[in-house]
Amino acid sequence: MRNDEKSIDLHTHSTRSDGTFTPSELVRYAAKKRLAAIAITDHDAVSGIDEAASAADETQVELVSGVELATAFNGTEIHIVGLFIDCHDGPFLKKLDDMSKRRAERNAAIFARLNGMGLYIEEADVFNDGVTGGRSATRANFARALVKRGYCETIKEGFERYLNRGRPAYVPREFRPPRDAIAAVRDAGGLSFLAHPILYGMPRDDVDSMAKNLKNDGLDGIEAIYSLNAPSDEAFFMKMAEKYNMLVTGGSDFHGANKATIDLGVGRGDLFVPASILSAIKSSMKTRKQEARG
């Protein structure tokens, strides 16, 4: 801990997308690691929130309902994390269902490509392996299946040989613009954040320009604290958030065994997301609700 302040983790994945911990296991692991709060931010899915909430009731871990949505900005795939989502909001669930259908079409194409190369992966390897629960599988689940079937030794190898962009089993996705995800999160009562900007491979000036554009589209904040940031990256993103009067969030992007070098709460060992980050987010939520009431 730093200055005895408690730590939190506002970016995690469960078996409802491409993590390897069930929602309840994830909450119990957070309690074991003495985190004050976690957000479950599965890809295009909020189906694990209720299970996690039940587990959280038995611990002292505060649960934040979240989601991670894939979009594209000027041809680059970027992700939007939504926090404090109403996971029972009908219109929002309809949007997630539409995303899941598009993901299912992509997954079918990946199956076809792998099988066409003689890599016989069955649906049960991807959807019923105790990891996805048959819900929102991603390429990580295919990589895991390749390892299970003995075609690759590691998940990383599965991506590098078959599933990364430019490799034979890669199938591009159809993405909506970030403003659609930002609006969907807001309509479901949540706040939206630009996830892990370090991963997009953009020069800093381009990231700054993107953040400015997304702020104009209603983006609430930036994931400035992240497992793969260097100290200079974190400082830059923190300053950028301040520049555009946006909130800051942070998280490990924990996936369990699917990202074995990233641990909950601490990332690669030096991550620290202070609980004051969540306090600021909740204060902003309170202000928004007060303004809505007029």
Same domain, 73 and 183: yes
Same domain, 197 and 275: yes
Give the CA radius of gyration of the chain.
Answer: 19
Cα pseudo-dihedral 66, 64, 207, 227, rounded to 10: -110
Same domain, 264 and 188: yes
Q: Residue 264's domain is classified under what CATH number?
A: 3.20.20.140
Same domain, 220 and 88: yes
Same domain, 79 and 224: yes
Q: By residue range, what is the domain housing residue 32?
A: 8-93+178-292
pLDDT (0 to 100) of residue 132: 46
Crossing angle of helices 178-187 and 204-216, rounded to 10°? 50
Residue at 60 is within a domain: yes
**Number of compact structural domains in the chain:** 2
Which 3-state string (H, E, C) describes 62-125? Answer: EEEEEEEEEEEECCEEEEEEEECCCCCCHHHHHHHHHHHHHHHHHHHHHHHHHHHCCCCCCHHH
pLDDT (0 to 100) of residue 3: 62
* pTM summary value: 0.88
Residue at 63 is within a domain: yes
Which residues of the chain fall short of a pLDDT of 70? 1-3, 128-136
Q: Which residues is 226 bridged to in the sheet? A: 251
pLDDT (0 to 100) of residue 77: 92
Same domain, 199 and 155: no
pLDDT (0 to 100) of residue 2: 62
Residue closest to 149 by CA, chosen among 123, 168, 130: 123
pLDDT (0 to 100) of residue 141: 85
pLDDT (0 to 100) of residue 134: 44
Same domain, 126 and 51: no
Pairing of strands 37-40, 8-12: parallel
Task: Please give the C-alpha separations between residue 32 and each of 19, 58, 160, in angstroms, as whole numbers.
Answer: 18, 12, 34
